[in-house]
Amino acid sequence: MSALLADLGTRAVRVLAPEPAHRATIALLKAGLGPSDHADDPALAVDLAGLKLPNPVGLAAGFDKDCEVPDAMLRAGFGFVECGTVTPRPQAGNPQPRLFRLVEDQAVINRMGFNNRGVVAFTNRLRARAHRPGVVGANIGANKDSTDRMADYVDGLRRVWLHASYVTVNISSPNTPGLRALQTRAALEDLLGSLAEARAVQTRAHGRRPVFLKVAPDLDEDEVRAIAETVRVSGLDGLIISNTTVERPADLLSPHKVEAGGLSGVPLFARSTRLLQEFADALDGALPLIGAGGIASADDARAKLEAGATAVQLYSALVYHGPGLVRRIKDGLLKRPPQIPARRLPAAAI
């Protein structure tokens, strides 16, 4: 199907309430009714922590929580797809309604609460597509009622390792109470220490995979410094900046702005890009960064790349612009490539 038709499809499903619209979209994609993009210009290719991406525009976690349609999204033109968040045991998530379109703000608020069918079903789907090309990552989290959250992450990492191209450790969802406390220095050191051990075992058995950490946008300077210092020595391969925000900018227009949950889309762009820049400064090239938050155009993606990201991810803009946006972003990046400051280029390129 052409991207134009698919974008019209996006408009058509938007007459439904947000969650039924999302379910309908997944069903259409599963039925093979997604768009097909053409092959990428080699100039778009990037190396992200050893992953060879045909282009730097990824699908952010949360769209395909159960890993049902990664290949359809790769076909739509994404350079990589992150499935999840998946938890060890299936869970229903929060009561509905829990997903809101803030149309006037080109934004979304969600308090889904890691609804997913559990890591066993997820891994079975990953395994079923393992022979296909394309970078598909697994984003792992903890069950809401877990008595040992660290153990949930270790369990998730072990189970997805064999068939995931990379693993993202998500400690930044605002919708699982207490989860973001794992971003404090002592808790993060503990978590990353346990994950490093589990990872060493998996690497010996099945080979290397990059492991990324996904952080919240609501961090102050001290928290950024503490996380940067911790991840530098943790063996992690990159940071995803950022998840949704619990802040509500004063200029939001939609009546849904009062809903609890994480805000994403256009109003998140400035905050998440500033945070990306802060991490780029604090880490000074020690780890690759993936920029997410409010990307809705080629200019937005370029700004993230210029702020220090090696690759980007998006989700909310798909709701408003449809999958044709991915091609438009890539065309825009080709037409006017990002200007990367010389200090961030690899030594050989300078």
Q: Please select the residue that binds ligand FMN; options are 315, 325, 327, 329, rule is CB under 6 A.
A: 315
Query: Among the candidate windows 41-49, 149-157, 220-228, 311-319, which touches ligand FMN by CB under 6 A?
Result: 311-319
Place of tokens 């709701």: 319
Size of the site for ligand FMN (CB under 6 A): 28
Q: Where in 120-179 is the site for ligand FMN (CB under 6 A)?
A: 139, 170, 173
Measured from each CB, the residue nearest to ligand FMN is 62
Given the structure tokens 């900018």, which residue do they identify?
A: 249
Q: Could you give the CA distance from residue 15 to residue 152 in angstroms, rounded to a whole number?
A: 38
With binding defined as CB under 6 A, does residue 91 bind ligand FMN?
no
Q: Per rule CB under 6 A, is residue 110 in the interface with ligand FMN?
A: yes
Residue 10 as a binder of ligand FMN (CB under 6 A): the answer is no
- Nearest alpha-carbon partner for 29 in 319, 323, 326: 323
Q: Report if residue 99 touches ligand FMN, rule: CB under 6 A.
A: yes
Q: Could you count the other beta carbons within 10 Å of the beta carbon of residue 229?
A: 15
How far out from the chain centre does Cα 225 lie? 22
- The H helix count followed by the E strand count for the chain is 11, 13
Distance of CA 115 to the CA centre of its chain: 16
Q: CA-CA distance, 135 to 137, in Å (whole number)?
A: 7
Restricting to residues 211-240, name those near ligand FMN by CB under 6 A: 214
Q: Single out the residue of 36, 31, 40 nearest to residue 6, CA to CA.
A: 36
Q: Establish if 291 lies at the interface with ligand FMN (CB under 6 A).
A: no
Closest contact distance (angstroms) between CB of 65 and ligand FMN is 6
| Residue 234 among the catalytic residues | no
Interface contacts to ligand FMN, rule CB under 6 A: 60-62, 65, 84-85, 99, 108, 110, 112, 114, 139, 170, 173, 214, 243-244, 264-265, 268, 292-295, 314-317
Residues acting as catalytic residues: 173
